[in-house]
Structure 1
Amino acid sequence: MNDLDKQLSERLRQNVKEPPASVVDRMNKTLNSLPERKERAPKNYKVMFGVAAAFFLMVIISMPMFQSVVPQGVQEDSLQESIFQLVGKGGLEQLSKEGLTFPMNLSATSNDITLEITEAMFDGTRLYFGFIETHPQPIDLIAVPEEDLLLKESRFFVGDRGDYYHMLGGKPTRQLSETKVAGVFGSSFVGDVNQLEDINITVYRGGEYAGEWEFLIDEIPVIEGVSSFSVDEMYLVDEQYEFYIEKVIQTPVTIEVYYSFDYPWVSPIKEYEFYQLKLLDLEGESYEPLYMGGGEKNKVFRVLSNGQDKGIRLQVNKFMNVNEDSNAMDSKALNEEVALDVVLEFGE
């Protein structure tokens, strides 16, 4: 008999209205015949509740930290493979999405600042690199003056072909973290070559974030899907100026026209005449221009396209700048019909 049974029995005996002796005797026999309960180890519910609460609290607190840290690492890994998709312009992002750029894993450190080249693109004439720049201390990309982050070219040497001194500049334009920024540097024109081998590139920068970073590259192949079409045609503009078309290069995202024009360029004055070149598709829609430049004789005009064009329309017209300010442009066409209108079909 346990204590509870004994207390109950005692209370029954002390009751003022005492039951008959026969009833009391039978009750005592029944109580004495009951099996005793097994003692159970006491449970400390407060301790158990505290442990469970602490566990769930720890999970709740750590969830934002996990979400912010782990995806950041994954994000940076993915960015290193697609800088062109993040900050590339002029069709670079599309080339990267289509897998037509060249992955790289090169790095150089100067003054504790590391430049890592993650991606390259060479389409036969222009060369670009995607890079990640890591600083030893946090950097605010927005607050830094442009000239303090502008990369400049000091040497661009390709095998035994000699030095190329075209601009290999650029600056980071996207903040990845407190210490990492991303950008693109490169040359809009390096000449018409089939392959870049044994490349030695050095970029430098002055100012607060000064440094000099050198990269040695064995080879950068031309991207796939590049076609070159020889034209070798000469046209007269206004019956006196020779306009010579040498060739057209088509890439998956651009069209480039190599040409020369013997129209003499004069320094701008308040009013002056000039010719303007533009490229249109066969339907007459103008392309988005990307680059127009080159030497005095050989020039290149690059536009953005989808790489599916079967031909282009090339037009040259004559304009007059009528703005009295020699530093401003306010022009009008001098004739209703274009001075030169040529249709070029690729591969013919």
Structure 2
Amino acid sequence: MSIHLNPEDKEIEHLQKLIRNTPLQVDLIDRTMERYSNMKTRRYKRSNSRSKRVRNAFFGTSAALVMAFTLVVSTGFISPTMAASLKQVPGMNSIFQLAGDLGLQTADEKGLLSKPNLSDTHDGLTLSVPEVMFDGTRISIALERQTTDKRFLNTELPLLLDDLILSINGEDIHSYAPANTSNSIDPYTIPGKNSNSTIIQFSDLRNQGGKPFPDKFNLTVSMPVSGIKQPFKIEIPVEKNTKNNLVFTPSLKRKYSNIDYTLEKVELTPITTSITTRIKLPTNSKISSLPFLEYEIYDDKGKQLKFISNNGWSATDGNVLITDSRFEPFTSLPKSITIKVDKVILRKDDKSKFELDKDGNPKIEYFPDLEITYPINP
């Protein structure tokens, strides 16, 4: 028996084939090396982000299905009628929903965000803010571009911005950073739903001696763009979108060799899982002598959370490193969490390259003595 499909059904079938057959190439070596390119003695930051600013250079890859689907929709493989129909699907227009971040998807689905729909326009280019999320641990701002001017369409949106300058209630955002240190609050960008959108993210440094952001404030984002004299400026009302975040201060300690390691804080929100760790070396040692350590989080069933970003800081020639690491949320509250510490092994003959396993992936060395399992008792 033959089945006759109408034109839209045929387009959907074609779309499914394109999604299945779209390759997703990820160079694990280059991607992981980029994590290390920003490491400095005083400040250690990384994120799954892409930004024009050198200190926020790591590009996070969205899920293959979302990328393929977005590629198909945005590059015109389907008819205008089909595209218009897809836009009616809940979440299809949401930048957060298509960003490949489970926490931001959850924010969109559960209404844990605000939709200010603010914009600024200069020389035929409009930059708008359709969505904002603040869960107490990170702020995410969806940014979108509208223009017909080819000058502003030849590059992805994050690379169009010369800088991101932030202020809270009229004060420079760095007034919330720890006083008399080089530790600064640096925004970074992650991919949005297409080349015309991106998401600006940043966090406070309250766990590293800085001031916490207020639960409610006005955020001004200033964005200079090459070729346009006046910077784009958007004032955004921001309010904490989550309530009853779970905060634990375990102060659990572990020791390995000359490393004293402490899990200082765990914070769980519907959007983000955040941990604060402290590493202390002997007084005559320097943090810069350590390999760059990474953290992994697992629930009580062994499921690993996806990493989002982190920022760590150590005083010049200091022997203490405090790091805030953020991950995607747990889909349900676990009975316990396990935090593992690891490092990527560098080649002995070339420290700029990694040792690879039989599958071509960088080899990782875990530190079992630093592993911590912590019960979650709300």
Higher strand share: 1
Contact 1:159 1:197 in 2 (8 A): no
Alignment of structure 1 residues 132-151 onto 2, 5 Å: 132-137=144-149, 141=153, 143-144=154-155, 148-150=159-161
What is the one-letter code of the residue matched to 2:267?
I
Q: What is the rounded CA distance, in whole Å, between the counterparts of 2:222 and 2:132 in structure 1?
A: 15
Alpha carbons of structure 1 residues 343 and 212: separation in structure 2 relative to 1, 3 Å? same
> Relative contact order (alpha carbons < 8 A, sep ≥ 6): 1 or 2 greater?
2
Given the alignment of the two structures, is residue 329 of structure 1 paired with residue 338 of structure 2, yes or no? no
Give 1:168's match in structure 2, choosing from 163, 175, 187.
187
- SS of 2:333's equivalent in the other structure is coil
1:87-132: CA deviations, max 9, x gaps? 3535212321122122222222233322221111111121111132
Q: What is the rounded CA distance, in whole Å, between the counterparts of 1:140 and 1:113 in structure 2?
A: 7
Q: What is the rounded CA distance, in whole Å, between the counterparts of 2:217 and 2:132 in structure 1?
A: 15
Alignment of structure 1 residues 64-75 onto 2, 5 Å: 68=80, 72=84, 75=87
Query: Structure 1: 5+ residue runs without aligned partners?
Result: 1-66
Q: What is the rounded CA distance, in whole Å, between the counterparts of 2:216 and 2:376 in structure 1?
A: 29
- SS of 1:95's equivalent in the other structure is helix
1:266-317: CA deviations, max 9, x gaps? 36xxxx8665432222233432222232322431122223242232112235
What is the one-letter code of the residue matched to 2:269?
T
Q: What is the rounded CA distance, in whole Å, between the counterparts of 2:146 and 2:313 in structure 1?
A: 36
Alpha carbons of structure 1 residues 81 and 99: separation in structure 2 relative to 1, 3 Å? farther
- SS of 2:105's equivalent in the other structure is helix
1:147: Cα distance to partner? Answer: 6.6
What is the one-letter code of the residue matched to 2:106?
Q
1:58-77: CA deviations, max 9, x gaps? xxxxxxxxx95897499499
Q: Computing the radius of gyration over CA atoms, which structure comes out larger, 1 or 2?
A: 1
1:99 corresponds to which residue? 111
1:302 corresponds to which residue? 326
Q: What is the rounded CA distance, in whole Å, between the counterparts of 1:224 and 1:320 in structure 2?
A: 41
Aligned Cα RMSD in Å? 3.8
Give 1:185's match in structure 2, choosing from 183, 186, 200.
200
Query: Structure 2: 5+ residue runs without aligned partners?
Result: 1-78, 178-183, 207-211, 315-320, 356-361
Q: TM-score, normalised by structure 1?
A: 0.63
Contact 2:224 2:230 in 1 (8 A): yes
Q: Percent identity?
A: 18
Given the alignment of the two structures, is residue 249 of structure 1 paired with residue 256 of structure 2, yes or no? no
Aligned length: 270
Given the alignment of the two structures, is residue 152 of structure 1 paired with residue 141 of structure 2, yes or no? no
Q: What is the rounded CA distance, in whole Å, between the counterparts of 2:370 and 2:190 in structure 1?
A: 39
After superposing the two structures, state which structure 1 stretch, 163-172 or 90-99, moved more. 163-172
